[in-house]
């Protein structure tokens, strides 16, 4: 064999080997290295971005970079409802979502969205870290999403272009809600006209008068600059719906037990980081909008608001399993 034929044979062998690896989908990355794409609706410095960045850093460290994750912050990979579809299809690998956009897909998420259910943040955390979280994780798994940990999202309140002090002030006002039947019925029960819109369209819709208000927590009201166009914030604190850090079931299926344990631990640690960051940011955001001249209308008595929520409970907590969960949550210390 001449040196030239030897070289030719070797390169032929290399080409065949490369083609075989290509068929197996292994050619581009060394052995089992994985590159994951993550979705975040908020900016990187928002508490949820801080939590997600901690998660990806811990996973990379503990898998020796075998699982590398990159979070695309600020809804770069699309709005919320599309991102949920992409997670289910496996084209987005991990994400942080509020639980309300799952209301029509995963029944138990309605329970933690219910108005005036939690007494305070501690009560919400005990429920989501306990029986509510277990039920929701099961419902999410059934639609192709694996819940790993729960993030705080504070209390949601109304903000509007005209002052709102009592439910009667909402009559005829167009209020943006997330894509969720529960939210539509909740706003109707308050006497408003619910208008489902993606988060990213709220600012311009307020500015152009397509809507008269929306509802959210202090950090979202501030970070999106909605406070510049809706100058009245009424502390209704009507819902404490939390958020989930989740992985696509398509990815999860391909992990071994050791990798799953690494992801679960990292997710729990990231939730502790997010919750600390959340508590700070709530205070800072409130201070920022007050300094910018927003009128905060303190709702001292929430009873007249809560009294209107009867039809929402009747519809979304009627089924025996959900009614039991509501009872269990109410009974928690």
Smaller CB separation from ligand GTR, 98 or 157: 98
- Cα angle at 200 between 315 and 74, to 5 degrees? 115
Contact 93, 52 (CB under 8 A): no
CA atoms of 187 and 191, how far apart (whole Å): 7
**Residue given tokens 């089924």 in the structure block:** 319
Least Å distance, CB 101 to ligand GTR, is: 6
**Residue given tokens 């501690």 in the structure block:** 122
The contact mask relative to ligand GTR for 290-309 (x = CB under 6 A, - = no) is --------------------
How many CA atoms within 13 Å lie on the side-chain side of 12?
A: 6
Smaller CB separation from ligand GTR, 199 or 232: 199
CA atoms of 304 and 276, how far apart (whole Å): 32
Q: Does 98 bind ligand GTR (CB under 6 A)?
A: yes
Smaller CB separation from ligand GTR, 41 or 271: 41
Query: Quick one: which of 123, 87, 122, 91 has its CA closest to 106?
Result: 87
Query: Quick one: which of 209, 213, 260 has its CA closest to 67?
Result: 260
Q: Does 285 bind ligand GTR (CB under 6 A)?
A: no
Contact 157, 215 (CB under 8 A): yes
The one among 103, 109, 205, 217 contacting ligand GTR by CB under 6 A: 217
Smaller CB separation from ligand GTR, 55 or 97: 97
Smaller CB separation from ligand GTR, 155 or 262: 155
The one among 220, 236, 240, 248 contacting ligand GTR by CB under 6 A: 220
> Which strands make up the sheet holding 295-297, listed edge to edge?
193-196, 174-177, 213-216, 156-160, 232-239, 295-297
The one among 153, 229, 249, 294 contacting ligand GTR by CB under 6 A: 153
Smaller CB separation from ligand GTR, 97 or 232: 97
Smaller CB separation from ligand GTR, 40 or 63: 40
Cα 290–chain centre separation:
26
* Residue 170 DSSP class: G
Least Å distance, CB 189 to ligand GTR, is: 19
Smaller CB separation from ligand GTR, 63 or 277: 277
Q: Does 110 bind ligand GTR (CB under 6 A)?
A: no
The one among 86, 160, 178, 240 contacting ligand GTR by CB under 6 A: 178
CA atoms of 91 and 229, how far apart (whole Å): 35
Contact 79, 232 (CB under 8 A): no
Q: Which residue is nearest to ligand GTR (CB)?
A: 98
Least Å distance, CB 274 to ligand GTR, is: 11
Least Å distance, CB 200 to ligand GTR, is: 9
What does the chain come to in residues? 333
Smaller CB separation from ligand GTR, 67 or 164: 164
Q: Which residues contact 170 (CB under 8 A, 6 or more apart)?
A: 158, 164, 190, 191, 192
Q: Render the burial of 74-87: b for 16+ CB within 10 Å, e for the rest.
A: ebebbbbeebbebb
Least Å distance, CB 253 to ligand GTR, is: 26
The one among 55, 118, 183, 199 contacting ligand GTR by CB under 6 A: 199
Q: Which residues bind ligand GTR (CB under 6 A)?
A: 41, 97-98, 153, 178, 199, 216-217, 220, 243
């Amino acid at each position: 064999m001449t040196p030239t034929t030897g070289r030719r044979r070797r390169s032929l062998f290399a080409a065949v080997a490369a083609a075989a690896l290509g068929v197996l989908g292994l050619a581009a990355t060394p052995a089992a290295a994985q590159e994951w794409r993550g979705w975040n609706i908020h900016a990187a410095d928002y508490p949820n971005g801080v939590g997600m960045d901690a998660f990806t850093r811990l996973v990379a460290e503990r898998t020796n970079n075998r699982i590398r994750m990159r979070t695309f912050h600020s809804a770069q990979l699309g709005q919320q409802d599309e991102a949920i579809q992409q997670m289910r299809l496996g084209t987005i690998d991990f994400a942080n979502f509020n639980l309300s956009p799952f209301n029509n897909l995963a029944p138990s998420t309605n329970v933690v969205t219910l108005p005036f259910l939690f007494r305070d943040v501690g009560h919400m955390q005990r429920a989501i870290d306990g029986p509510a979280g277990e039920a929701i994780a099961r419902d999410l798994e059934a639609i192709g999403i694996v819940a790993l940990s729960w993030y705080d999202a504070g209390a949601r309140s109304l903000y509007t272009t005209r002052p709102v002090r009592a439910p009667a002030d909402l009559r005829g006002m167009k209020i943006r809600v997330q894509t969720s039947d529960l939210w539509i019925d909740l706003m109707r029960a308050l006497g408003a006209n619910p208008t489902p819109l993606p988060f990213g369209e709220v600012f311009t819709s307020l500015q152009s008068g397509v809507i008269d208000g929306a509802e959210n927590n202090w950090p979202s009201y501030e970070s999106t600059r909605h406070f510049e166009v809706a100058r009245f914030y009424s502390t209704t604190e009507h819902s404490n719906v939390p958020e989930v850090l989740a992985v696509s079931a398509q990815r999860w299926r391909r992990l071994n037990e050791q990798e799953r344990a690494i992801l679960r631990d990292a997710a729990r640690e990231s939730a502790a980081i997010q919750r600390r960051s959340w508590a700070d940011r709530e205070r800072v955001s409130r201070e920022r909008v007050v300094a910018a001249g927003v009128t905060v209308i303190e709702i001292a008595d929430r009873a007249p608001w809560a009294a209107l929520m009867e039809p929402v409970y009747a519809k979304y907590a009627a089924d025996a399993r959900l009614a039991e969960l509501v009872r269990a949550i109410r009974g928690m210390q």
